Chain A
Amino acid sequence: MKYLPLLWSGIWRKPARTTLIMLQVAVAFALFGVLQGMKSGVDHVVANARADLLVVHSRVSFADSLPLADLQRIKSVPGVKMVGIVDGLRATYQKPNQPVGVVAADLSQAWVTANVLAVSPQALRAFEQTQTGALITSGLARQYGWKAGDRIPLLSATRQADGSGSWVFDVVGTFVDKLDVQGNDFVLIHYSYLDAARQANKSTVARYIVVLSDPKQALTVADDIDRQFANSSNETQTDSFRELAQSQMQAIGNLNFLIRSVIAAVLFASLFSTATMMMQSIRERSPELAVLKTLGFKARDIFVLILAEAMAICFAAAALGLCLAEVAFPFAARTVPGIAMPAAVVEVGLAASLLVALLSVAAAAVRAAKLEVVAALAIR
């Protein structure tokens, strides 16, 4: 405890220098936090994606469709607990630059039970009773002020039977999509309504969502489903959500080398900077340190004192930088929707700051500890 005032006065001996070095280290760790946060955030999304849900889509691509007739055959595959239908249309609301995604599904209590989405029992009941009913995400409710009871007119390239591209839905409530980590906003409508009303592509779906009885069987069941449709005119491709998340996130995985280089460069620069500054500081303080030694401070005390000083500066700076990273992260992560900065990044960052402090100050601290009292006092 008695060292604390000494430590404090050592840190603030040259306020401008300490402030600058702290800012520099803070900036370095802000960047570390954002970049490492994005990398870990991506890993986190993949690890959290559900392995017990499969997506069946056309082997051609996600943009292609499958016949509705496949539903029964998929249901009959052993290990399949439930199959949901997903289709949709792209629409705009009022202006061409206000796109609204519309997802059509055969929503029922089973979806809620399977934890695919969350919706209140009242809203679900209202949805089931309204043919043109629509559930909306809370984001849409906020953005356009939509609420239950509203009729929302949308414009789409998907035509109705009469050739018109305008679609009107009745908002019956809100829902939360439990699968979509990206937080996309969309309108959920009845598949049966969409299919009856549209002009083309009747009795087709964009994809099926399969809930498994046993997540461990994901691979076998996926293969069984694809085998059902092999060599048909609509071959399927079945993947688990986790697999999809993985391939989606792999798109930025190629940048890992670059991210690592940036982190290395920024940490190296701040390490070197801290090291020179501490060395310079020790040189200037030789007489003061010599006085401490004369007063009875042991070499080890001085060593620990200098070490503690650097660690305090780096730790505080890193904490500041990581706070900045938390603030800047959502801004930077816009390019990769749906990822959050894991807490572990902060822990690793703080630990790394202590390591930077140790490495950068070791030489200076040894020099300070070995100081010859007479020689040091003799320096002018």
Chain B
Amino acid sequence: MSSSKQFSALVRMNIAGIGQQIGPAVTIVIGIASAVGVLSAMLAMSFGAHREAMADVRADRVVLTSVGSQSVNDSSIPREAASAIGDLPGIRRSAKGQPIAVLEAEVIIEARRREGGARIQFPLYGVSSGLTDLRPELHVSSGRMFRPGLHELIASDLCAREYSGFDIGDRRTLRGGDWTVVGHFDEGPTIVCTLYTDAGSVLAAFGRDSYNDATVMLQSPSGFGAFEAVLKANPGLRVRAEREREVVEQNMKGFDRILQFAAYFVGAIMAIGATLGAMNSLYALVDIRRRDIATLRAIGFGSGPILTAVLAESILLAVLGALVGAGLAWIFFNGLSASPFGVSFQLAVTPLVVAVGAGWALLMGLMGGLLPALRTARVPVTAAFRAS
């Protein structure tokens, strides 16, 4: 009998034999299922948040901030620079022939979550005209658009849903003036609450004479290099350009770091535990089958196929565990709304998450099965004939 035939016969025999020694096998599956389940659930947070944050990103949108600034918060673009930015070559024009360049003045405000009352801070953007040209994904879902100069603001659906004080008609006092919420808007998937009003009102109310940043739409995504060169040729503007994707990714960095650290830290600890458990169970299985193994050796089975059959069994059980774990994570966590650290998103147990879990499981099965498999090779043939 060839080695491969021996191997497949042994695998079939081992699987058939699992029913008689259900304990160790179930232990392996449960251990690995919990490790993969936890890993999947944690990764689902990071994946879910990322998916929603990136959904609206466009390759032809570019954010301009002042040279030397760390982020939008400490960036500053003087009022006078606004028209110069609009006149830069490479910027797309709207149907009315206006350059699609929106200057934004950002103010951080806070509101309470409807649930639990936690205070969360988020940005109010005062924008110059052209918001809907710049963000075609944005449309008013109820109420109406704000009118400039009247201290009106519109809130994203997420704000209205998750925070109190953003129903249409609600008033907020900012710097002495009453600001009225006149509409809600849908901007596709987002993770943070966003408010818009006109830039003039914000600058006047907060006594500022500079914007934070400008977002422009290029004629084509490939025009980024040329646009950067134009900015280099205009050092007097003191602005630099970043693709929208880079800015969003930069903003997500801290959050990502926390979630990924949590996922891989907790996942790795659980994987170590599951591997140790699998190893122990397989040792037990090999011990139980000592006589069988010796008998097989006596009738001519090679130690190679016997060894690999144990390894294969371990990996099979591990993958089964991974499927159970990912399945449980999907049932309990997929689509679950989470709102840690002031952002809101839904967990997403994507195929990629499951694949990562399965990959880890393979590794756990391999590591856990290696030593017990090697032990089978050391079972002496005489063990078959010895009592216990």
Contact = CB atoms under 8 A, between A and B. Distances in A.
Nearest to B280: A20
A16 B287 CA distance: 12
A37 B338 CA distance: 21
B24 A27 contact: no
Contacts, number: 142
B23 A269 contact: no
Interface stretch (A46-54, A142-150, A178-186, A259-267): A259-267
Given A27-B273, A27-B276, A233-B175, A62 B37 contact: no
Interface in B20-58: 23-24, 26-27, 30-31, 34-35, 37-38, 41-42, 45
Q: How extensive is the interface on chain B, given as a class? A: 35 or more
Contact of A380 (B173, B258, B332, B388): B388
Interface string A263-291: 00110111011001101100010000000
B175 A261 contact: no
Given A247-B119, A380-B388, A276 B26 contact: yes
B266 interface: yes
A276 B24 contact: yes
Contacts of A27: 269-270, 272-273, 276
B214 to A, nearest CB: 19
Contacts of A232: 176
A60 interface: yes
A265 B37 contact: yes
A254 interface: yes
A62 B388 CA distance: 75
B118 to A, nearest CB: 4
B41 A261 contact: yes
A265 B261 contact: no
B279 A266 contact: no
B116 A250 contact: yes
Q: How extensive is the interface on chain A, given as a class? A: 35 or more
Interface string B230-271: 000000000000000000000000000010011001100110
Contacts of B24: 276, 280
The interface centre, meaning the residue of A235, A265, A279 with most chain B CB atoms within 10 A of its CB, is: A265
A291 B16 CA distance: 34
Contacts of B116: 250, 253
Interface string B304-343: 0000000000000000000000000000110000111110
Interface stretch (A28-36, A215-223, A305-313): A28-36
Given A266-B38, A335-B261, 13 more contacts: A21-B280, A24-B273, A28-B273, A61-B107, A63-B108, A233-B175, A261-B332, A269-B34, A269-B274, A276-B284, A277-B280, A280-B23, A335-B262
A-B pairs with lowest CB-CB distance, top 5: A233-B176, A265-B34, A27-B273, A250-B118, A276-B23
30 contacts: A17-B283, A17-B284, A24-B31, A27-B276, A31-B266, A35-B266, A59-B173, A60-B109, A61-B108, A61-B110, A231-B173, A232-B176, A234-B175, A250-B118, A251-B341, A254-B338, A254-B339, A258-B45, A258-B333, A258-B338, A265-B34, A265-B37, A266-B38, A266-B270, A269-B34, A269-B274, A270-B277, A272-B26, A273-B27, A280-B23
Interface of B: 23-24, 26-27, 30-31, 34-35, 37-38, 41-42, 45, 74, 107-110, 116-121, 173-176, 206, 258, 261-262, 265-266, 269-270, 272-274, 276-277, 279-281, 283-284, 287-288, 332-333, 338-342, 387-388
